[in-house]
Amino acid sequence: MSAVTSSLSKRQENDLLSLFSHARLHLLYKASIHGFTAAAFHGRCDLQGPTIIVAYNAAGFVFGAYTSKDYTQSGQAVIDGAAFLYSISAERNKPLRVGSISGKHAFTDGGPGPNFGALVFLHEDKPAVQSNPGDCFNFQEAEMHGNDLALTEFEVYRVEDLLEKPWRNIQWTSERKQQLMTSIQNYLPEIKAVNQARVLLVGPVGAGKSSFFNSINSAFRGNMTCQAITGTARTSVTTQYRAYTIKTGRRGGTLPLILCDTMGLEENADSGLNVDDIVSIFKGHMKDRYQFSSCSSILEDSPGYQKHVTLNDTIHCMAYVIDTCKVSLLSQKMLDKLTAIRKRANQLGIPQILLMTKVDEACPLVAKDLKNVYRSVYIQEKARQLSDSLGIPLSYVLPVKNYSEELELDQNTDILLFMVLEQMLNYADSYFENQITDDQDGSNGPDCAWAEEELLKSQYNVVGWL
């Protein structure tokens, strides 16, 4: 099958791009190929982030609508201050741009074709537009489309825009990479009795938890590794609980960090990793290589249950791992499960961060240059969406790229990976500091009890205290 190509001329494309600051257009849908129907439109354009409609008529007009919001078929009127209608014609030196009427919504997010009030595209599942100037947008019909409402072509593009200034400032230098490596290697937990910070990775099937560990391991080893099993499947490839240590170089020392990998989360309550097992991991009761069961959670008499635990065994920080490409596809059941996990982690005082994986697959501008990750409007929008959905502050959301197809290490990839590790250790420190503070305040909470026992053991060298 031949590639689907744009019908825009070079001049029309440049005129379209002039409506944005630093944008790139990615063709999602072409009606002459995919069909002039609402179903074909929604099948390719829903949940795609910022998009622009490009309609063509025989009068030579190229016109349409931009929205920064997702199409979701919610049936709701969507307010979008960034939305606009536009028109390009050979008679004009620059595009006509029309903003929405003050106080009006931008479009109705329904099941039919895109409905911007003043312009309704794919009207009645035909290559046609319904024109209603004054409804949400005001314009002269002759200027907008030359009074020709029959379409010769209809396309939709995802608008991949770059911010003028990055929303986080990153130093993409070899010096910064070395600084991060040194900081991680020299890390010491706040509580002397704890040898290594323990971080739990939790996320849906296929999000990239095991790949994240392999990428970290590769970056510190200096060559590609595949210690954790990875793959593509509808169910979790990881079936055991694994507590991985990381070495610096082939025969180097061990990092003061343990990454704990888990079975992937699934929507249904009776499949994938369950919340009760996660709580057992939080509290240190699950031994390395415990075989997960989606039918039942670990019990005190289970072979892999660890009864006697210390602060070394508990989780000090948790990282949600989410595929950036699937942020808009997270079901309510999955969000509910993640929310339940967050609630239990909060009850135990465990700091949490969120890793957005596959940022290069989600945004072609990032795929072209990873240094665009904090300039990508699309990545920023998905980070905010995750922050809002899970109730996690935006500052705790970190984009990252795992190694997947590469055979050689990349400095920019390593910098993003090391920045994540640095934040994990910072948040683990917060956890340890809370244990010390609680102990000094005389708290009798469960987390304080662990810290209290560990501190006593370190001071009096009491063996087998627990």
192 has a pLDDT exceeding 90: no
Q: Work out the number of other CB atoms within 10 angstroms of the CB of residue 110.
A: 17
144 has a pLDDT exceeding 50: yes
Q: Which of 269, 200, 263 is nearest to 233 (CA)?
A: 263
Joined together, the tokens standing for residue 242 give 């694994």
SS3 of residue 281 by DSSP: helix
210 lies in a domain? yes
4 lies in a domain? no
User: Do 372 and 318 sit in the same domain of this protein?
Assistant: yes
pLDDT band at 391 (very low <50, low <70, confident <90, very high): very high
SS3 of residue 160 by DSSP: strand
Work out the average pLDDT over 404-422. Answer: 94
Q: How far is CA 1 from CA 4, 37, 373, 374, 383, in A?
A: 9, 21, 32, 35, 35
Alpha helix segments (H runs only) across 348-410:
359-362, 364-368, 377-390
Q: Which of 198, 208, 274 is nearest to 242 (CA)?
A: 198
pLDDT number for residue 439: 54
For strand 76-78 and strand 51-56, is the pairing parallel, antiparallel, or unpaired? Answer: unpaired
Q: Which of 215, 160, 122, 163 is nearest to 418 (CA)?
A: 215
pLDDT number for residue 39: 97
User: Do 282 and 395 sit in the same domain of this protein?
Assistant: yes
Separation CA 74–CA 332 (nearest Å): 14
User: Do 204 and 308 sit in the same domain of this protein?
Assistant: yes
Q: Tell me the per-residue pLDDT of 70-100, one tens digit each, with 9 for 90 and over.
A: 999 999 999 999 999 999 999 899 999 999 9
Joined together, the tokens standing for residue 294 give 């989606």
Of 107, 128, 162, which residue constitutes the final position of a domain? 162
Joined together, the tokens standing for residue 165 give 């200034």
Q: Tell me the per-residue pLDDT of 206-248, one tens digit each, with 9 for 90 and over.
A: 899 989 999 999 999 988 887 766 655 455 556 788 899 998 8
Work out the average pLDDT over 319-329. Answer: 92
466 has a pLDDT exceeding 50: no
User: Do 185 and 323 sit in the same domain of this protein?
Assistant: yes
Could you give the number of structural domains in the chain?
Answer: 2
354 has a pLDDT exceeding 60: yes
Of 106, 127, 162, which residue constitutes the final position of a domain? 162
CB 429 within 8 A of CB 359: no
Separation CA 27–CA 61 (nearest Å): 19
104 has a pLDDT exceeding 70: yes
Separation CA 79–CA 112 (nearest Å): 18
Joined together, the tokens standing for residue 182 give 């040194």
Q: pLDDT above 90 covers what percent of the chain? A: 67
Separation CA 148–CA 129 (nearest Å): 9
333 lies in a domain? yes
pLDDT number for residue 447: 46
Separation CA 434–CA 451 (nearest Å): 9
Lowest average pLDDT, out of 56-70, 97-111, 351-365, 445-459, goes to: 445-459
Which residue segment(s) compose the domain that 89 sits in?
10-162
Give 221's Cβ-side CA count (13 Å radius): 16
Separation CA 15–CA 116 (nearest Å): 21
pLDDT number for residue 234: 53
Separation CA 318–CA 283 (nearest Å): 12
User: Do 207 and 304 sit in the same domain of this protein?
Assistant: yes
Q: Tell me the per-residue pLDDT of 344-353, one tens digit each, with 9 for 90 and over.
A: 999 999 999 9
Q: Tell me the per-residue pLDDT of 274-322, one tens digit each, with 9 for 90 and over.
A: 888 899 999 999 888 888 776 677 778 788 788 899 999 999 999 999 9
Q: pLDDT above 70 covers what percent of the chain? A: 90
For residues 2 and 196, the model is more confident at 196
Return the ∠ at Cα 452 (arms to 449 and 453), rounded to 5°. Answer: 90
Supply the mean pLDDT for the chain.
Answer: 88
Measured in residues, the chain has a length of 466
135 lies in a domain? yes
